[in-house]
Amino acid sequence: MIDALIFDFDGLILDTESPDFLSWQDIYAAHGHELTVEIWARNVGGAWHNQYDPLEALLGRALDREVVQAQYKARARKIQLAQPILPGVQEYIKDAKEMGIKIGVASSSDHTWVDGNLERLNLIHEFDVIVCADDVENVKPHPELFLTAVERLDASPARTIVLEDSPNGARAAHDAGTFCVVVPNPLTAQLTFDHGHLRLDALSDVPLAHVVTLAGEKE
């Protein structure tokens, strides 16, 4: 029996990874350098992407970080506002509620970012718990976010399904003892996943009931 379903946020509910990458890619290009997926991938699914340090290393000088941050935010925000909820997310929420499964979010981003976007998408009231970076000492790939969400849902890791899009998130879900479904976004699909029980191109590819069955067999 599955008790809980936990969603990652960035790249799983909403494609925020691509807007971030494209924005930073523009900034690197403006300074005469290329931002590769390899550079970007170092922190995907973990702490906030610090792209200042690698760019400053390439330039051999410090940036005016306030100016760069303003440029990044303006570009990323414009792209993010055009992003739809990713395929299958709303169906999984609906099916989980019908099956009596508690629903949560566990994100390495902070509440301001996650709650604000969930509010904008009219999803915030769909979740029983929302656990973010400001609720814990350690973010992904440490399992604390998932363990905290499981505890607040009054569930057990062995009876919890986690939906993740990044290698760092999948590792955290594995170390927390949950059943992990990997759903890479266009950027993380290029990375290597060492953990995960099931990999999908999109949540809409497989109904939640099937995933629940597979997770139940792993208990």
List, in order, residues 6 or more apart from 96 with CB less than 8 Å away: 5, 102, 103, 208
The Cα–Cα gap between 32 and 106 comes to: 37
Query: If DSSP states are collapsed to H, E and C, what string results for the chain?
Result: CCCEEEECCECCCECCHHHHHHHHHHHHHHCCCCCCHHHHHHHCCCCCCCCHHHHHHHHCCCCCHHHHHHHHHHHHHHHHCCCCECCCHHHHHHHHHHCCCEEEEECCCCHHHHHHHHHHCCCHHHCCEEECHHHCCCCCCCCHHHHHHHHHCCCCHHHEEEEECCHHHHHHHHHCCCEEEECCCCCHHHCCCCCCCEECCCHHHCCHHHHHHHHHHHC
Catalytic site residues? 8, 10
